[in-house]
Structure 1
């Protein structure tokens, strides 16, 4: 294979690595900023409180607001977003990392009469690959627990068993307990979704850093 072919593969690998990392980062972070917040919006027109009443707060914090969306649909929307992301971004991040690893191999074979520069390029591309793959490690270590709890709620509400009881089979007390439990679980789901969105932003930073390092290596 001629040198021109190797050069062409190098350019393709640089494009795949840098653009893939940047694209994955943008997509991941966009989910947190533009997809999750609308799911957590409170009712648009909450009932007004009488003037003589006051809202109870704890430690001067704002009262907790639950999303207007029913919990079952809220969880289904998150599951759709999560599944789409899982089917897309890990593959892009991995492909970008493999492109960077190919560039490490390329510069190990082609010194271009400057061993120091080739060694620097290898280190940069290897760092970019490791940073990219660190997004997956970060997900397993720091986000998996939140995802597992959300999945438990998804399974609980998936068949609608928690949304309503069979007619005539529950007492007023049981209905009240079910309603309180649903409200608490809705608050928990809202908290978990907000946490997942924040953790997801951090996850998106890894491929962004990988793209910056890869671009820096390409400019040497």
Structure 2
């Protein structure tokens, strides 16, 4: 997903530059790019730690986790993933808004 987010963000940056140099509205594309690219640090900072803890426990290289801890981590991962889903959705909405202007 992060690779796709960066590719989409670069597309929006290209559109923003092209529209700006022609005097058209461009800020929606720039905001869409930012919304998509923010997916990467969000994933690395917030979701990456949970993934690392779970994978280390599963492989036996990390601390064993109780069933309650695993449930809590999965619930937290689910909530964070729900937030993460809205980032590219917001980027698409901003790009569409700019397109329709």
Alignment gaps of 5+ in structure 1: 1-88, 112-117, 158-181
1:189 to 67, 70, 82: 70
Which structure would you say has the larger Rg? 1
Instruction: Determine the structure 2 residue equivalent to 1:101.
Output: 13
Tell me by how many angstroms 1:185 deviates: 2.2
Equivalent-residue separation in structure 1 for 2:95 and 2:19 (angstroms): 13
Task: Give the 3-state SS of the residue equivalent to 1:145 in structure 2.
Answer: helix
- Per the TM alignment, residue 199 of structure 1 is displaced from its structure 2 partner at its CA by 0.7
Higher normalized helix content (fraction of residues): 2
Pick the aligned partner of 2:44 from 111, 120, 140.
140
Unaligned 5+ runs, structure 2: none
**What is the CA RMSD across the aligned residues, in angstroms?**
1.8
Match of 1:131 among 28, 35, 39: 35
How far apart are residue 186 of structure 1 and its match?
Answer: 2.6
Aligned residue-pair number: 99
Looking at structure 1, the residues matched to 56 and 70 of structure 2 have their Cα atoms a distance apart, in angstroms, of: 10
| Partner in structure 1 of residue 2 of structure 2 | 90
CA distance in 2, matches of 1:192, 1:207: 24
Residue in structure 1 matched with residue 79 of structure 2 by the alignment: 198
Equivalent of 1:110, from 14, 22, 43?
22
Mapped partners of 1:152, 1:186: distance in 2: 15
**133-142 vs 201-210, which deviates more?**
133-142
Q: CA deviation at 1:132?
A: 0.8
- Which position in structure 1 is the counterpart of 2:54? 150
TM-score norm. by structure 2 comes to 0.85
